[in-house]
Amino acid sequence: MTPEHPDAPAGETTALALKILVAGGFGVGKTTLVGAVSEIRPLRTEEMLSEAGRTVDDTDGVDHKVTTTVAMDFGRITIRSGLSLYLFGTPGQDRFWFLWDELAQGALGAVVLADTRRLEDCFPAVDYFEHRKIPFVVAVNCFAGARRHDTGSVCRALDLDPGTPVVLCDARERVSGKEVLIQLVEYAGRMHTARLLDSVG
């Protein structure tokens, strides 16, 4: 018996934490965005993650396990006492791809940061979240010197599912980052409601 309370109602006394992932290509501004909205200086944590069950033949009984250490930056926003939002910058390198499953588990949603000068960098993140039906918004980080694109053309270039929000942002600005998160939470709420309706309909 563990002293956990998984079935406790989300009442005022139960502390609740929500997880939002910030994904995108290397150097697109993930840590910058986390830092802009976080109330704490972004912290760095090292996760030792294992790649288990990736073998094609699992009947040999051999546990092929590979562990990798990966650094993640994260920040926190306290909504009120007992309700906080944690933001995790996902590892940008493709070779850490398989780690995402652990990070994504239980996530409320994700922000895919995009740079229009190298939009293809965020394709894998878009694919990942679409396949796992994790709500995400695409936030185009408007770097100085980058040509401005309208959100419609970004949406077409990424071949996004209809309804996926695309927002322009400046990852350095708190107000801008805040707006991205609001869009995400609203969208996650809409997805959630739609799924509930599907399940009863």
Partner 1 sequence: MTDDTTGAPREPGGQWYDQEAGPLVRPYAVTGGRTAPGPTGVRFDLIALVTLDPAAPADDDPALGPEHRTLIDLCRPETQSVAELAAGADLPVGVVRVLLGDLLERGRVTVSRPVPPAQLPDERVLREVIAGLRAL
Where on the chain is the footprint of partner 1 (CB under 8 A)?
2-6, 10, 14-19, 37, 43-49, 67, 69, 72, 74, 76-77, 79-80, 83-86, 88, 103, 105-108, 174, 178, 181-182, 185-186, 188-189, 192-193
Is-contact 114 136, C-beta < 8 A?
Answer: no
**Smaller CB distance to partner 1: residue 146 or 175?**
175
Cα 92 to Cα 29, 55, 125: the distances in Å are 10, 24, 9
The alpha-helical segments, DSSP class H, found in 3-83 are 30-37
Nearer to partner 1, 106 or 152 (CB): 106
Q: How far is the CB of 74 from partner 1 (least distance, A)?
A: 5
User: What beta strand segments (E) does the chain contain?
Assistant: 16-24, 43-51, 66-80, 83-89, 109-114, 136-141, 166-169
Residue 45 Cβ vs partner 1, minimum distance, rounded to whole Å: 4
Whichever of 8 and 56 has its CB closer to partner 1, that residue is: 8
Burial 46-79 (b: 16+ CB within 10 A, else e): ebebebeeeeeeeeeeeeeeeeeebebbbbbbee
Least Å distance, CB 51 to partner 1, is 13
| Residue whose CB is less far from partner 1, 76 or 149 | 76
Closer to partner 1 by CB, 74 or 168: give it.
Answer: 74
CB of 84 to partner 1, least distance (A): 8
